[in-house]
Structure 1
Amino acid sequence: MITHLRRAGVPAATLALLLTGCADHTPTAPAQVRAATSPATEVTQETTTEPSADPNVLPGLGPKTLAQVPDATRQALVVTGEDKDSARSTVVLYERTADGWQAGTTWPAHNALKGWTDHHVLGDLRSPIGVYTLSDAGGRLPDPGSRLPYHRSDGFSLSGTGFEGEPLAGSFDYVVAIDYNREPGTSPQDWTRPLGAQRGGGIWLHVDHDGPTKGCVSLAKGHMRELLVTLDPDLHPVVVMGDADSLAR
């Protein structure tokens, strides 16, 4: 299929989006860390996360999940779904200091229409559960000051409507690729799928369009911009994502 599209003269950027779940409103599958692809509304309300009893342990995570967080990680974006079949979640960015993990504010988010899965496959409309590295960013808009490599392209364009009839335009103004079934160190639009096409791909953090996604996790535009200027590759950031019960294992 790739060869036929190239021969037809389809631009590389457009081709990459055609082969990702998010591009046709089907979130791409995450590579090393699990991610959800659902738009989070442009919400202004924020809450403060209660501190963990043990500052050296990320709140809400059980031993199985904690074991997947690399020792070198100093930034962890924790995406907690309401339940296994819910398209709504909350997001908190934690940074590890000499005093332990420090929490940022809590942001509302969307994930995939049918919730979460520990074995994501193409078209299942669920976000992958797991811990994945965050290594590359991009978007249709100019770089807002991202510390991650930022790939700006007009190919990050999206039209049409989502599952609830909401417009999808602007969803890819800012994106951060979740390293699930992708090659880190490449543009989020790269279509390489190490686990095979059937395991999905193109799972991103992107701008919320006010409805469920096909696999990605979506945040309000202002929150995405803040995330882009805060994530630091020197701190080895990861995303920890899944429903609350699964993350607590």
Structure 2
Amino acid sequence: MRILLLAGLIVLGLATPAQAADLAQADPAWFPTRLTHLGDAKQVIVVTGRSQKSSYATLRTYQRGSDGRWREAFPAMAARNGYAGWQWATRRVQDTGTTPAGTFRITETFGLAARPSGTRVRYRRVDGNDYWVGDRRDPRTYNLFQPSASARRTWRISQAERLASYPTQYAYAAVIDFNRAASVAWDAQRREYVARKPAVAGRGSAVFLHVNGKGSTAGCVSVSRTEMVRILRWLDPAAHPRIVMAPLADIGRA
């Protein structure tokens, strides 16, 4: 109702800039009108943690229409985050059990299960030979997908997630672009992906939005399998989707 009132007053020219700002503040803290790093996004996933140390969260989805207004795409979803709560992305350290707070793009998805019909964001079907690397020793392969355990690899299996080891969680997943390499190329000789502009080794890798496991995550965000499939089918690369994540008290700064 307050959104409709604001739109009507602006159209009629009856709201001053200050009044318009006051009305916008009536939106909940997690509503896209209150978020400041959305850029050109027309689809936004907002994850709000209960507190800085809590592993329980709420996930909401929003779509921006041709009229410029944001509308909720699906009802709010119960979510889980890292077992140690939250840490700002620029301060996060690998293996601390925290979920990075901030705003990130979503440009690719993957899963051990077949691509859900209607999925538009790039989807990679993965299997038992596929890994996600977190090897601090080699920044060139840090936080990158690798398609096999090649004998000539520069990364160590002991420092990588074998994706098939998490058949429930990684049935479906969306990659959160936290600490991602700016440029990646395929090294045909070593049969591995390498980063031309690497991520920060040690800050964290393999941060995804994925299917719920038995409890909290190691730094990812998770929702039910049904809701994860619904999100995958909804995401549209043409809408430049972003995910905004933080404790509720800090969501406006994420």
Alignment TM-score, normalising by the size of structure 2: 0.66
Q: Which has the higher helix share?
A: 2
Q: What SS is found at the alignment partner of 2:232?
A: helix
Contact 2:183 2:198 in 1 (8 A): no
CA distance in structure 2 between the aligned counterparts of 1:140 and 1:191, rounded to whole angstroms: 23
CA distance in structure 1 between the aligned counterparts of 2:194 and 2:226, rounded to whole angstroms: 27
Aligned to 1:170: 168
Q: Is 1:116 aligned to 2:86, yes or no? A: yes
Cα deviation digits, residues 71-117 of structure 1 (max 9, x gap): x1100000010011000001111001115110121000000001111
Aligned to 1:106: 76
Pairing partner for 1:233 from 211, 231, 237? 237
Which runs of 5 or more structure 2 residues have no equivalent in the other structure?
A: 8-23, 131-162, 185-191
Which runs of 5 or more structure 1 residues have no equivalent in the other structure?
A: 1-49, 160-168
Cα deviation digits, residues 119-138 of structure 1 (max 9, x gap): 21101111000000000001
Aligned to 1:244: 248
Pairing partner for 1:60 from 29, 33, 53? 29
Q: Is 1:81 aligned to 2:49, yes or no? A: yes
CA distance in structure 1 between the aligned counterparts of 2:110 and 2:41, rounded to whole angstroms: 22
| % identical equivalent positions | 29
Q: What SS is found at the alignment partner of 1:89?
A: strand
**Matched letter for residue 80 of structure 2:** H
Instruction: Tell me: CA distance 1:130–1:73, structure 2 relative to 1, closer, same or farther (3 Å).
Output: same
Instruction: Tell me: CA distance 1:190–1:170, structure 2 relative to 1, closer, same or farther (3 Å).
Output: farther
Contact 1:135 1:184 in 2 (8 A): no
Cα deviation digits, residues 164-191 of structure 1 (max 9, x gap): xxxxx411000100001114797xx978
**Matched letter for residue 180 of structure 1:** F
Q: Which structure has the larger Rg?
A: 2
Contact 1:89 1:109 in 2 (8 A): yes
CA distance in structure 2 between the aligned counterparts of 1:139 and 1:51, rounded to whole angstroms: 40
CA distance in structure 2 between the aligned counterparts of 1:235 and 1:129, rounded to whole angstroms: 22
Shift of 1:62: 8.9
Shift of 1:69: 1.2
CA distance in structure 2 between the aligned counterparts of 1:201 and 1:122, rounded to whole angstroms: 7
Q: Is 1:152 aligned to 2:125, yes or no? A: yes
Higher RCO (C-alpha under 8 Å, 6+ residues apart): 1
CA distance in structure 1 between the aligned counterparts of 2:193 and 2:248, rounded to whole angstroms: 31
CA distance in structure 2 between the aligned counterparts of 1:93 and 1:122, rounded to whole angstroms: 28
User: How many residues end up aligned between the 2 structures?
Assistant: 189
- Aligned CA RMSD, in angstroms, stands at 3.1
Pairing partner for 2:59 from 80, 87, 91? 91
Q: Is 1:212 aligned to 2:216, yes or no? A: yes
Q: Which has the higher strand share?
A: 2
